[in-house]
Amino acid sequence: MREEDEEGWLLDSLRLYNDLHVFELHEPTRVVTWTGEKRVCIAGYSDRRRNEILQLLLPPRLTAKENQGLCPERDFKVEHGGFSDRPVYSLKHVPETSLLVTSGPPDSSLQVWRVEQNETDVIKLMGTIPTVGGEEPTWARIATAPSKSAWVLHGLKISDVQVTEIESRKTVFRAASTSHDELSALEFVDRATALACSTTGHLFLADVRQPQGLLGVAEEPHVALATGGGRWCAAVRPGPPESVGNHPQVVRLSDGGCIVLTDLRNTTSPLKVATGCAPPSGPPASEFLCVSFAPQLEECLAVSGFDGTVCIYSNQSWGPAPQEDKPLFVHRGHIFSSAEAADRPVLVTAHSWHPSKPRTLLSAATDGSLHAWDWSEPRRAS
């Protein structure tokens, strides 16, 4: 990057951001998982060496009650750490515990970790959960939720989805489905309901109080025609943890740049559809594709994985008919701070909203950069 471009970005940052913190990791991560208001876990995903799993304490100035200006300093603090003998492609915190669950190649087994709080600063491997299709050269999608006994939802395909009680390794739910579509996302909708999204964009719901069963959700045919297929990912706007049957919204993102919002109470037609949310040139992205709801902003979504940016969209003006839209805000910091070669453009690998600070996000990229940023009042990106 040219020096004048970097200087221009830093000047723009004073106007576009309330806060910006830049951290260079020893190795890139594709997981950014909150373990509290001020703590996140990250992990490496290299297949050539042991990978660190770290719990980081956020910069004090970022967690202060009042924003205190631009601060591109390496002031994240490592609180706990451990090593994984395999790449970490997914990492989830088990709410209300000190447990973490990870997955990654070369197979679909799950690893259970404990963040030791008392005597040491170690993240310790506690054991492994074998899974259906565990020898396949791939990795399991996983999700966790609070329950009387810590549960993990996991699977490779729709037919493999199951819920395992972590401590006893007992299977408490198994999908009764013949679909062999590959999973792209798994989430608990509430404490009794799980949602699965296939890479083809189809949704499935399950009542995990039943030992077996998986219900396919009807697909919107005109949306499939409008988007032309492709690979999809998904996320749920969660309700209160104690709720059951609240039927929240789900958002899906295709590698062609289509975003579809659906109310799970009525899946025959979408609530809102937007197109044009992918770069106009270049091959379709899929490996790091990510979409998420803003927990504190009713109508905002974040999209990443297409390039070195994180795009914030407002769905306020969207309707059920597909329409093109431009982002409300674009975080380009990973592009401007990257030292990657021109023929190896940086890609954002993950992003995550802060649980309670409305416009604060963390994002990570393939060059090992980790950014914590708080964007200023909404304005249309040029």
Q: What is the pLDDT of residue 276?
A: 86
pLDDT at 343 over 60: yes
Rounded mean pLDDT, 269-292: 85
d(CA 93, CA 99): 6
The structure tokens 């004048």 sit at: 4
Contact 312, 302 (CB under 8 A): yes
pLDDT tier for residue 1 given thresholds of 50, 70 and 90:
very low
pLDDT band at residue 5 using 50, 70 and 90 as cut-offs: low
Find the mean pLDDT for residues 212-232: 62
The answer to which of 99-113, 166-180, 233-247 has the lowest mean pLDDT is 233-247
- CA separation for the pair 168, 70 (Å, rounded): 48
* Average pLDDT of the segment spanning 258-274: 87
Report the pLDDT value the prediction gives residue 41, as an integer from 0 to 100: 97
Which sequence spans correspond to the domains of the chain?
3-375
Lowest mean pLDDT among 49-63, 67-81, 99-113, 310-324: 67-81
pLDDT at 9 over 80: no
Out of 2.130.10.10, 2.20.25.10, 3.40.50.2300, 1.10.3720.10, select the CATH number for domain 3-375.
2.130.10.10
**Mean pLDDT computed over every residue of the chain:** 84
Categorize the per-residue pLDDT at 382 as very low, low, confident or very high, splitting at 50, 70 and 90. Answer: very low
Q: 152-176 b/e with 16+ CB inside 10 Å = b?
A: bbbbbbbbbbbbbbbeeeeeebbbe
Average pLDDT over residues 77-85: 93
The pLDDT value given to residue 225: 44
Of 97-101, 247-251, 255-259, 318-322, the least confident? 247-251
Alpha helices in the chain (DSSP H): 3-16, 221-227, 333-336
The per-residue pLDDT for 72 is 47
> Quick one: pLDDT at residue 282?
66
Listed in sequence order, the residues at least 6 apart from 295 whose beta carbon sits closer than 8 Å to its beta carbon are 353, 355, 356
What does the pLDDT look like over 150-187, one tens digit per residue?
999 999 998 889 999 999 999 999 887 777 889 999 99
Kindly report which listed range (45-49, 62-66, 149-153, 306-310) carries the lowest average pLDDT score.
Answer: 62-66
